[in-house]
Amino acid sequence: MKQRLTEAEKEIMEILWDRNTAFMKDILDLYPEPKPASTTVATLLKRMQTKDLVGYKTFGNSREYFPKVEKEVYFNHEMTSMIDRFFNSSVSQFASFFASNKKLSQSQLKDLRDIIDHQIKD
């Protein structure tokens, strides 16, 4: 997956991920205020189709849109891409940066250690 979502596209994709399918009217109804023009949403959906991230089924004159990539798959790709770009593909560098710059509490650091320990056991 080489295509990234813009922030505007991501808002629409969140709606599709939550609902699995949605017509244009549904997307506009669920969009937070201030709502964009329907032509703006149509343009964004078209771009997302070109990126092969969204598909649709036709029902009469209406299109029911659906995500062509799962949220977890997209998120994993984005995280891997970020680690590759900013941390030379080093998860250790990322973890070190995150832990030291996020000012995590002792409880949060313990939770992270527990997650890692659990992954090591599996």
- pLDDT for 90 equals 87
**What's the half-sphere exposure (Cβ side, CA atoms, 13 Å) at 73?**
9
- pLDDT for 109 equals 81
- What are the phi and psi torsion angles at 55 (to 5°)? -125, 180
What's the whole-number average pLDDT of the chain? Answer: 89
- pLDDT for 122 equals 67
- Going by pLDDT thresholds of 50, 70 and 90, the confidence category of residue 102 is low
- What are the phi and psi torsion angles at 59 (to 5°)? -130, 100
Top-confidence residue, 111 or 16: 16
- pLDDT for 95 equals 81
pTM recorded for the entire structure: 0.77
Residue identified by tokens 């798959």 is 73
- What are the structural domains, with CATH classification, of the chain? 1-88 (1.10.10.10), 90-122 (no CATH)
The model's pLDDT over 37-90, given as tens digits with 9 standing for 90+, comes to 999 999 999 999 999 999 999 999 999 999 999 999 999 988 888 889 888 888
- pLDDT for 23 equals 96
